[in-house]
Structure 1
Amino acid sequence: MSGTIIDDDQASSGTAEHVADKVLAAALGWVDLMAIHLGSQLGWYAALTAVGPMDSEELATATGTSERYAREWLEQQCLSGILRQVPSRGGRAAFALVPGAAEVLTDASSMSYLEPLARMLAASAHRIPQLVEAYRSGTGVSWEDFGRHARESQADMNRPWFTAMPQKLQEVERIHTRLSAPGARVADIGTGAGWSAIALAREYPSLRVEGFDVDRCSLEDAEANAADAGVGDRVSFHLVDAADLADHGPFDAVFAFECLHDMPHPIEVLAAARAAVTPEGVVVVMDEAAADEFDTGAGDLERLLYGFSLFVCLPDGMSHPNSVGTGTVMRHDTLRAYAREAGWKDAEVVVPEFGLWRFYLLS
Structure 2
Amino acid sequence: MGIDAPLADRVFETGVAMMEGLSIYLGDRLGWYRELAAVGRLTPAELAERTHTQERYAREWCEQQAAAGFLTVDDGGVSGGGGAGPRFGLDAEGVAVFTDVRSTDLLAPFVRLVAASAVQLPALVEAYRHGGGVSWDQLGDDAREGQADMNRPWFEQVLPGELAGVPHLHEALGRPGAAVADVGCGYGWSTVALARAYPQARVVGIDVDGPSVERARTIAAERGVENVELVHSAGEDVEGGPYDVVFLFECLHDMPRPVEVLTAVRRSLSDGGFVVVMDEAADDALTTPADLVQRALYGFSTLCCLPDSLSHPGSAGTGTVMRRPVLERYAHEAGFKDVTDLPIEDFGFWRFSELR
What is the TM-score of this pair, normalised by structure 2? 0.95
- Does residue 226 of structure 2 align to residue 239 of structure 1? no
- Does residue 175 of structure 2 align to residue 214 of structure 1? no
Q: Distance in 1 between matches of 2:82 and 2:36?
A: 16
Paired residue type of 2:280: E
Paired residue type of 2:17: G
Indicate the residue corresponding to 1:10 in structure 2: none
Paired residue type of 1:139: G
- Does residue 49 of structure 2 align to residue 61 of structure 1? yes
Residue number among 127, 134, 158 corresponding to 2:120 in the alignment: 127
- Decide whether aligned partners of structure 1 residues 305 and 63 sit closer, same or farther in structure 2, where only a CA change above 3 A counts: same
Q: Secondary structure at the match of 1:244?
A: coil
Residue number among 115, 129, 141 corresponding to 1:136 in the alignment: 129
Residue number among 181, 198, 207 corresponding to 2:192 in the alignment: 198
Q: Distance in 2 between matches of 1:177 and 1:282?
A: 13
| Cα drift, residue 78 of structure 1 | 0.6
Indicate the residue corresponding to 1:37 in structure 2: 25
Q: Deviations over 1:272-323 (max 9, x none)?
A: 1111001111211000011111111320000000000011100001011110
- Does residue 300 of structure 2 align to residue 308 of structure 1? yes
- Decide whether aligned partners of structure 1 residues 174 and 356 sit closer, same or farther in structure 2, where only a CA change above 3 A counts: same
Indicate the residue corresponding to 1:155 in structure 2: 148
| Cα drift, residue 169 of structure 1 | 1.6
Q: Secondary structure at the match of 2:343?
A: strand
Paired residue type of 1:211: G
Indicate the residue corresponding to 1:50 in structure 2: 38
- Decide whether aligned partners of structure 1 residues 72 and 186 sit closer, same or farther in structure 2, where only a CA change above 3 A counts: same
Higher percent of residues as strand? 1
- Unaligned 5+ segments in structure 2 are 76-80
Q: Deviations over 1:18-52 (max 9, x none)?
A: 22111111111111111111011111111111221
- Decide whether aligned partners of structure 1 residues 16 and 326 sit closer, same or farther in structure 2, where only a CA change above 3 A counts: farther
State the superposition RMSD in angstroms: 1.4
- Does residue 355 of structure 2 align to residue 362 of structure 1? yes
Q: Deviations over 1:91-123 (max 9, x none)?
A: 422222234101110001100000101111111
Q: Distance in 2 between matches of 1:351 and 1:308?
A: 26
Q: Distance in 1 between matches of 2:109 and 2:232?
A: 25
Q: Deviations over 1:199-241 (max 9, x none)?
A: 011011101100111100000100000011111x210111111
8 A Cα contact 1:291 1:331, kept in partner: yes
Paired residue type of 1:170: A
Which range is displaced more, 40-49 or 181-190? Answer: 40-49
Q: Secondary structure at the match of 1:93?
A: coil
| Cα drift, residue 138 of structure 1 | 2.1
Q: Secondary structure at the match of 1:146?
A: helix
- Amino-acid identity (%): 50
| Cα drift, residue 248 of structure 1 | 3.1
8 A Cα contact 2:180 2:204, kept in partner: yes
Indicate the residue corresponding to 2:60 in structure 1: 72
Residue number among 164, 167, 170 corresponding to 1:173 in the alignment: 167
Q: Distance in 2 between matches of 1:186 and 1:46?
A: 36
Q: Deviations over 1:41-94 (max 9, x none)?
A: 111111111221111111111111111111100110011001122137724222
Q: Secondary structure at the match of 1:238?
A: strand
Q: Distance in 2 between matches of 1:58 and 1:237?
A: 43
Q: Secondary structure at the match of 2:102?
A: coil
- Decide whether aligned partners of structure 1 residues 238 and 349 sit closer, same or farther in structure 2, where only a CA change above 3 A counts: same
Indicate the residue corresponding to 2:70 in structure 1: 82
Paired residue type of 1:167: G
8 A Cα contact 1:103 1:110, kept in partner: yes
8 A Cα contact 1:127 1:146, kept in partner: yes
- What are the equivalent positions in structure 2 for 1:110-121 lying under 5 Å apart? 110-121=103-114
Paired residue type of 1:219: V
Residue number among 82, 96, 102 corresponding to 1:103 in the alignment: 96
- Does residue 223 of structure 2 align to residue 229 of structure 1? yes
Q: Distance in 1 between matches of 2:194 and 2:290?
A: 34
Indicate the residue corresponding to 1:4 in structure 2: none
- Decide whether aligned partners of structure 1 residues 16 and 179 sit closer, same or farther in structure 2, where only a CA change above 3 A counts: same
Structure 1 segments of 4+ aligned residues over 3 angstroms from their partners: none
8 A Cα contact 2:244 2:270, kept in partner: yes
